């Protein structure tokens, strides 16, 4: 049985571009939703292209029926952010994982020896024009690069923050060393093993090609060296979505940008070794994984092919296969492919609260939700 209730709006501001949600349910029962938010510009930009993006947080104490106003996390001043992830820990605390770019005025670019990965206005605009993820913005793209993007993007830093008061304040910030990887970006959270170790999978920003993980033995207060997880010739992996299964297996779905599909990897030894990346057949991305009460696994995904929308693929065999012929439609017929990043939480009545973003017919990009019973 599959039922869908009416949609609702969680975050919408006609002057802002708000997108890329991720939810976590805390031990207290509080729901947290993190998202990205930046200025609405004449040309649509995502976090890797705009230094004014911040991560924001809203909170619900009634399973998504009402939400607090958004606040910037971990604090004001944290700008130039990529999408963020949340991890609810067994002791009631929560982790926020972030990647923060360094930005410079284009009139005062950094020394290339200090910022070897820096990109100026022309390179950033070229990447934007070549993106397959957003709709063309027409004549606005003909403007001079330094008019549209008067900045230079450098490298950055991967970091986690810990909150012990349901996300109201954030302390115990911890740097994540990425070693030979250029950076570490993840828009989902970590998994917590039975021994308390936290495993956080990340992708190698700004290349978005390889997946690695870092491990924390102390509740996210410190992180070990990066460990390779997934890479393959001719494939570019990013945005890992992990889930710890009942038998201890770690399942991770990966966005693959060449085929524009989802791949999967698995570990049966606590993340020490991994299966080779294998295609799932799901032509949508990125994903959020959730265990259902009956033992099935739900993968919520954004469909950036017509008819644009949000869907759920269900697995009855611990994620080895998904029902490709019978996805559940959460939303369909959305105005453009600037959408997705769905995330879900289970309600007490067994229904799923699915949050996602899209750009509406008025050109405003916001975060919305649908309640689904499956």
Spatial separation of the C-alpha atoms in residues 160 and 175, rounded to whole Å: 7
Q: What is the pTM of this model?
A: 0.96
Please classify residue 145 by burial: count the beta carbons closer than 10 Å to its beta carbon, then call 0-12 exposed, 13-18 middle and 19+ buried: middle
Q: Which two tokens stand for residue 139?
A: 């004549």
Q: What is the pLDDT along the chain (374 residues), one digit of tens a residue?
A: 456 677 899 999 999 999 999 999 999 999 999 999 999 998 889 999 999 999 999 999 999 999 999 999 999 999 999 999 999 999 999 999 999 999 999 999 999 999 999 999 999 988 887 776 666 566 667 778 999 999 999 999 999 999 999 999 998 899 999 999 999 999 999 999 999 999 999 999 999 999 999 999 999 999 999 999 999 999 999 999 999 999 999 999 999 999 999 999 999 999 999 999 999 999 999 999 999 999 999 999 999 999 999 999 999 999 999 989 889 999 999 999 999 999 999 999 999 999 999 999 999 999 999 999 88
Confidence at residue 374, expressed as pLDDT on a 0 to 100 scale: 80
Domains and CATH numbers, the chain: 3-373 (2.120.10.10)
Confidence at residue 86, expressed as pLDDT on a 0 to 100 scale: 99
Confidence at residue 135, expressed as pLDDT on a 0 to 100 scale: 62
Q: How many residues does the chain have?
A: 374
Spatial separation of the C-alpha atoms in residues 54 and 81, rounded to whole Å: 5
Spatial separation of the C-alpha atoms in residues 297 and 305, rounded to whole Å: 23
């Amino acid at each position: 049985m599959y039922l869908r209730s009416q949609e609702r709006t969680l975050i919408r501001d006609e002057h802002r571009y708000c997108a890329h949600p991720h939810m976590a349910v805390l031990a207290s029962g509080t729901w947290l939703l993190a998202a990205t938010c930046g200025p609405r510009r004449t040309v649509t930009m995502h976090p890797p292209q705009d230094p004014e993006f911040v991560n924001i947080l809203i909170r619900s104490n009634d399973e998504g029926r009402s939400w607090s106003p958004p606040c910037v996390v971990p604090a004001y001043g944290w700008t130039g952010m990529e999408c963020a992830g949340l991890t609810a820990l067994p002791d009631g605390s929560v982790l926020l994982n972030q990647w923060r770019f360094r930005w410079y005025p284009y009139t005062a670019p950094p020394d290339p020896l200090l910022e070897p990965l820096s990109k100026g206005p022309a390179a950033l605009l070229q990447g934007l024009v070549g993106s397959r993820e957003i709709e063309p913005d027409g004549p606005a793209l003909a403007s001079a690069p330094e008019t549209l993007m008067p900045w230079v993007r450098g490298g950055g830093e991967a970091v986690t923050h810990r909150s012990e008061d349901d996300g109201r304040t954030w302390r115990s910030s911890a740097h994540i060393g990425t070693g030979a990887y250029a950076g570490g970006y993840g828009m989902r959270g970590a998994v917590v093993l039975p021994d308390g170790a936290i495993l956080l999978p990340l992708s190698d920003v700004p290349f978005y090609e390889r997946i690695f993980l870092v491990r924390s033995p102390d509740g996210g207060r410190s992180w070990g060296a990066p460990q390779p997880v997934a890479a393959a010739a001719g494939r570019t992996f990013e945005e890992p979505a992990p889930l710890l299964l009942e038998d201890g297996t770690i399942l991770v779905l990966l966005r693959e940008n060449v085929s524009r599909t989802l791949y999967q990897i698995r570990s049966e030894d606590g993340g020490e070794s991994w299966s080779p990346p294998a295609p799932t057949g799901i032509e949508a991305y990125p994903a959020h994984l959730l265990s259902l009460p009956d033992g099935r696994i739900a993968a919520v995904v954004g469909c950036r092919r017509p008819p644009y929308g949000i869907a759920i693929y269900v697995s009855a065999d611990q994620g080895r296969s998904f029902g490709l012929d019978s996805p559940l439609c959460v939303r369909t017929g959305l105005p453009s492919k600037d959408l997705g990043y769905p995330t879900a939480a289970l309600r007490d009545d067994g229904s799923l609260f699915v949050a996602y973003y899209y750009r509406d017919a008025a050109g405003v990009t916001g975060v919305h939700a649908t309640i689904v019973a499956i």
